[in-house]
Amino acid sequence: MMSHYAPPVQISRPDTLSKVWKISLIFGLLGIWGCRGPLQKVELEHAAMGTRFRIVSYHRDPQKVGRAALLAMEKIDRIEQACSDWNPDSEIRQLCRTAPSANPVSASGDLIEILSLAIEISRESAGAFDPTIGPLVRLWRRCQQAGRLPRPDELQRARRAMGIESIIIDVDAGTVQLLREGIGIDLGGIAKGYATDAALKVMEAQGIEHTLIDGGGDISLGVPPPGRGGWRLELEPNGIGGGSSSEGGIRVIFDDRGAVATSGDASRFVEIDGKRYSHILDPATGWGVPGPHAVTVHAAEGAIADALATAISVLEVEQAKSLLDSFPGSSALLFDPAGGPPRVLGEFPGMTNH
């Protein structure tokens, strides 16, 4: 969905620790003069959360980048273990099995933080973003397999199990209590943005500040590398809006830290009876957002950009504007299914051609 238009210098795929020494060898050779030489662009990939994460860093010592990147990848894996809806042993799936619970249950710091953010954005978006959407998501998955639309009674039943008011979080005690039976927490609309931010923080803590983390379209940006004018990205939601510039996408240059996230149905939708429904669902009705649609959000933090992009996919334009207003510094591009220029909400930074 999004790509850099600067060619990478180095590509390696350290998916497992067993590959560490291989990376070290490559970086060792580079590192001989790299330590004191100019900034090197180092690019690494890691498969997680159903996508490929890319870590792009500019640093004099590629070996140091490799070591930091392994820690960042471990962090991404820990977040996946906390949040995955696909893994029945994930922390969130285990937590949901305690519902309805008479007592608070201990939860990891990441899960507490991501749930707290999800609830905040749910409130600010008047429920357009809803982390308790799990029962509806499962219903649609079942219907997709059966090649049919959900029935009104099925939609109603799934929606009855939803509601953030049945999640009680005690941040100081590090606990979560789920009051409602059948609650299904789905963090698919926020977890990747949270993970790219967390991975960026790991890199920065290791002294690798010029880093970009791309989690398949959810991108966290560190301090841009000096002398390059900023991070150069091409926003290109596949199959929608892409005809708006001569090269097919929209080029942006971000000259500051921040995050961008794109939500759309380009690769994930259901087509039933000739109509296209997104994997993003409207909690108010239970229906999939009609496609094709795509929105890109820029915000201060990855989790916020990710969740706002999901929420804005559901909202009308005026509602989207007031949601963006409640997150200072956030803005959005609404892509035009007909291929015209995107509609800009707020001050989207760094646009070079639209």
Which one of 57, 84, 310, 313 is in contact with Mg ion (CB under 5 A)? 310
Find which of Mg ion, ligand ADP, none residue 108 binds, CB within 5 to 8 Å per kind. none
Cβ closest to Mg ion, residue 85 vs residue 306:
306
User: Across the strands, what pairs with 186?
Assistant: none
Segment near ligand ADP (CB under 6 A); pick from 25-33, 52-60, 108-116, 275-283 = 275-283
DSSP 242: G
306 binds Mg ion, rule: CB under 5 A: yes
User: Across the strands, what pairs with 214?
Assistant: 54, 219
220 binds ligand ADP, rule: CB under 6 A: no
Which one of 225, 306, 312, 342 is in contact with ligand ADP (CB under 6 A)? 306
- Contact mark string toward Mg ion, 171..210, x via CB under 5 A: ------------------x---------------------
Contact indicator for 334, 295 with CB cutoff of 8 Å: yes
125 binds Mg ion, rule: CB under 5 A: no
* Tokens found for residue 129: 């973003």
Taking the C-alpha atoms of residue 161 and residue 185, their distance in angstroms, rounded to an integer, is 10
Q: Peptide bond before 88: cis, by omega within 30 degrees of 0?
A: no
DSSP E strand stretches across the chain: 2-4, 11-12, 40-48, 51-59, 105-106, 167-170, 175-178, 211-215, 218-221, 231-235, 250-254, 258-264, 269-272, 275-281, 288-290, 294-299, 331-334, 343-345
Smallest separation, CB 34 to Mg ion (Å): 36
Local structure of 341: helix, strand or coil? coil
197 binds ligand ADP, rule: CB under 6 A: no
- Contact mark string toward ligand ADP, 240..269, x via CB under 6 A: -----------------------x----x-
User: How many Å from the N-terminal Cα to the C-terminal Cα in the chain?
Assistant: 18
Smallest separation, CB 226 to Mg ion (Å): 31
User: Residues interacting with Mg ion, by CB under 5 A?
Assistant: 189, 263, 306, 309-310
User: Residues interacting with ligand ADP, by CB under 6 A?
Assistant: 129-131, 133, 137, 186, 188-189, 217, 263, 268, 279-281, 283, 306, 309-310, 314
